[in-house]
Structures are given as C-alpha cells and as structure tokens.
Amino acid sequence: MKLLLDTHVLLWWLADDARLGTQARELIADPGNDVLVSAVSLWEIAVKTRIGKLAASLDDILDAVRANGFIRLGLEDTHLHALMTLPMHHRDPFDHLLLAQAVSEGAMFCSDDANAGKYGVNVVGAG
C-alpha cells in the first residue's frame, strides 16, 4: 500500500507523539507499505519554521525521513492536474497539493484533518 503522510502526521511520527494512533503507527511501521513524504510537507515545515509557527530543524527532519526509509515525493505535472480538479472545501494550499498528490499517486492519505475526507481521497485517520 502507498501511504502519503500529512505534514502533522510526519511530525507526530518523528516526535513519537501520543496523538498518533495505533492504526497509523502500524501502517507507517509496516515494511510492506511505501510511506511517502511529499516535498510539499517539507516546504510547509520550512515555511512555518521561518515565520515562527513551528520550532523544528529542517536538517534533522530530512535526516529522519531518510533514516526511516520514507520515499520522497516531488511535485509532478500529474499532481498539478489533479489539483485543478479538486473542489474548494477549504483554502489551505499545502493540504490541497497533498490531497492532489494522494489522488494522483493512488495513495491512502494519513491525516487527522477532518476536511481530508471531503475530497474523495482514501483517508486513514491518524488519531
């Protein structure tokens, strides 16, 4: 199974945060699953760190993504085309790109965001 992590899920996993539920932990830890981390999430982390909304070390996160064996997902034309077809249930551009990537990649989207299910994406609850 392909599993695309929402940004907060990536951060919860790396911090071993108690908010990350058992099902999500098992799916992420399962070596049979391809766990995808989007450049969009890394961009979101960088932006939020720069403006003071998040205290994080981008280098530590990048190292941890590699150490966990997660697959880095870039932004492709197919993702942008999928983005153009998404409805506008809310206005978060990071979420929209992540959801478009999940659709385009045929991946389950692991998130605790209540809006994610409104987009016709297969969602695995993170909590």
Domain at 103, CATH number: 3.40.50.1010
User: CA 22 to CA 5: how far, in whole Å?
Assistant: 15
| Domain presence at residue 123 | no
| Domain presence at residue 118 | no
Side chain identity, residue 25: R
Structural domain span for residue 54: 2-113
Sheet holding 71-73, edge to edge: 71-73, 34-38, 2-5, 108-111, 123-125
| Domain presence at residue 52 | yes
| Domain presence at residue 121 | no
Tell how far CA 107 is from the center of its chain: 11
| Domain presence at residue 124 | no
| Domain presence at residue 119 | no
Residue-by-residue pLDDT tens, the chain, 127 positions: 999 999 999 999 999 999 999 999 999 999 999 999 999 999 999 999 999 999 999 999 999 999 999 999 999 999 999 999 988 887 888 999 999 999 999 999 999 998 888 888 899 999 8
| Domain presence at residue 65 | yes
| Domain presence at residue 122 | no
What is the number of domains present in the chain? 1
